Copies of this chain bind each other. A is one copy, B any other.
Amino acid sequence: MGLFHPERDQLQLEDVLAALGNPLRLRIVCQLAQADERVCGSFAIGVTKATATHHWRVLRESGIVRQWQAGRCHYVALRRSDLETRFPGLLDVVLKDGAKDGAEEHAEPIRLART
């Protein structure tokens, strides 16, 4: 069950905006921007694994993130250069705004709800 990733020139602005137009996904992207890559499970997003999988899929299929498996974990990274090529400036706008308010991760993470 390979993970679908759209090619850079298939990215649709409308899909990217729709993916970012959700508070949870917007926070995830801002958190992710502070590292080059991270393990999916390391995010303190306060939803179950099933829900998290759903949101990762939306982010991946809109072309915002790339995911790959390594051992038991899935890694995830922002597709910075692809986004910058197709929609120059967009990521800057989003991240700059996210930096203002609660983009920082909690010192005491919420972790997944009920595992």
Contact = CB atoms under 8 A, between A and B. Distances in A.
B22 A94 contact: no
Of listed A13, A18, A92, residue having the most chain B CB within 10 A: A13
A13 B93 CA distance: 9
Give chain A's interface residue range (CB within 8 Å of chain B): 20 to 34
Interface stretch (A31-39, A40-48, A70-78, A83-91): A83-91
A94 B20 CA distance: 14
Interface string A10-41: 00011111111111001000000000000000
28 contacts: A13-B26, A13-B97, A14-B21, A14-B22, A14-B23, A14-B26, A16-B21, A17-B17, A17-B18, A17-B20, A17-B26, A17-B94, A18-B18, A18-B21, A18-B22, A19-B21, A20-B21, A21-B21, A86-B97, A87-B93, A87-B97, A88-B96, A89-B89, A89-B92, A89-B93, A90-B90, A90-B93, A93-B93
Interface of A: 13-23, 26, 86-90, 92-94, 96-98
Which 3 residue pairs are nearest across A and B when measured between Cβ atoms?
A: A18-B21, A17-B21, A21-B21
